[in-house]
Amino acid sequence: RSLTAPSFPTSLKDVFISVKTSKRFHRSRLDVILKTWHTLAKDQIWFFTDDDDLRVAKRVQSGHLINTKCSSSHNRSSLCCKMAAEIMAFASTPDKRWFCHFDDDNYVNIPALVKMLQHFNPEDELYLGKTSIPEPINVLDHIQDQRKNVSKKKVSFWFATGGAGFCLSRPLVEKILPKVRDNAFVATGESIRLPDDVTVGYIIEHLFKTRLTPVPKFHSHLEALKLIPQESFSDQISFSYSTYSDQEQNIVQIGGLSEAKDPTRFLSIHCHLFPGTIKACDRIVR
């Protein structure tokens, strides 16, 4: 499909970009996002967090730092609570056609994201993302009958890795809303006992029978990021970073600023894609 020319008139203003974060990452992770890719799409990016923070609120569009009031602990129900808040916020922003979720350790290549979406009809029910495992996941479903007897059944489905980013079209979001609103998403996550991104896959693929469309241009730190060739960066939709161990970082391989000045590589990626657009690029000798 990527060989065909983009054929739908989607533009940046049609996209709702949602970034999941938490109070303790506002400095360590949001600052570099605010310096880089956020500058290209301020009006479309919303941050979903778990506390108020005037310092960040001042740097984003008014109302775009959302305190979900979800718990800030890293457990399933608080992460599912946040994912549900992200999807519900999109649902009540009717001028946007696409919902795209990212984590706060993602770099999002805005033009590449829009270009990818132009290949798909926003009127269709679409679930676009990167699978992290080469097989569908097998899950024990806990089904409760009217007498509250619980039976377990094996179900199998694909899901898109939340840490790479994924997009849902509005018709798909409208369809799954009954399984998102009023705590339904958290309850579903609890019933399969798996993380929020797996719960999204379970709801879309298993409950509503819409198949994931794999888009390999999303990247999470579950892959070896140094394997992405620099010549292809302008085509890639998302990047990430993480630490394998004290010695080794899983980061994108790119020249530019030193690892000391740019440990996430996001400044260097941004200067590579959009030369000269931010001050940090001035320090790069070409």
Q: Strands 15-20 and 45-49: what pairing?
A: parallel
**CA atoms in the 13 A half-sphere facing the CB of 125:** 14
CA 161 to chain centroid: 8
197 near Mn ion (CB under 5 A): no
74 near ligand UDP (CB under 6 A): yes
Neighbour count for residue 211 (Cβ, 10 Å): 12
Q: What is the DSSP string of 53-84?
A: -HHHHTTS-TT-EEE-----S-SHHHHHHHHH
Q: Which does 189 bind (CB under 5 to 8 A by kind): ligand UDP, Mn ion, none?
A: none
**CA atoms in the 13 A half-sphere facing the CB of 19:** 26
Per the CB < 8 A criterion, the answer to whether 160 and 177 are in contact is no
Alpha helix stretches (DSSP H) within 92-169: 110-117
Structure tokens at 275: 């030369």
- Stretch of residues binding ligand UDP (CB under 6 A), selected from 73-81, 108-116, 248-256, 275-283: 73-81
Closest separation between CB of residue 23 and Mn ion, Å? Answer: 16
- Stretch of residues binding Mn ion (CB under 5 A), selected from 33-41, 100-108, 167-175, 178-186: 100-108
104 near ligand UDP (CB under 6 A): yes
Backbone torsions φ then ψ of 74, nearest 5 degrees: -85, 55
Please count the residues of this chain forming the interface with ligand UDP, following the rule CB under 6 A.
13
Three-state secondary-structure class, residue 50: coil
Closest separation between CB of residue 19 and ligand UDP, Å? Answer: 7
- Stretch of residues binding ligand UDP (CB under 6 A), selected from 100-108, 114-122, 245-253, 263-271: 100-108
196 near Mn ion (CB under 5 A): no
197 catalytic per annotation: yes
Q: Which does 122 bind (CB under 5 to 8 A by kind): ligand UDP, Mn ion, none?
A: none
Closest separation between CB of residue 62 and Mn ion, Å? Answer: 28
Strands (E), 94-187: 98-103, 107-108, 127-129, 137-144, 150-157, 166-169
Task: Tell which one of 10, 14, 18, 21 touches ligand UDP (CB under 6 A).
Answer: 21
104 near Mn ion (CB under 5 A): no
Task: Tell which one of 2, 73, 121, 156 touches ligand UDP (CB under 6 A).
Answer: 73
Per-residue x/- track, 150-179, ligand UDP (CB under 6 A)? -------------x----------------
**CA atoms in the 13 A half-sphere facing the CB of 212:** 25
If the CB atoms of residues 68 and 220 are measured against Mn ion, the closer one turns out to be 220
- Of 50, 53, 197, 262, the active-site residue reads 197
Write out the binding residues for ligand UDP, residues 178-237 only, by CB under 6 A.
none
- Stretch of residues binding ligand UDP (CB under 6 A), selected from 15-23, 165-173, 180-188, 209-217: 15-23
CA distance 80 to 70: 9
**CA atoms in the 13 A half-sphere facing the CB of 56:** 28
Provide the binding-site residues for Mn ion, judged by CB under 5 A. Answer: 105, 163
Active site residues: 197
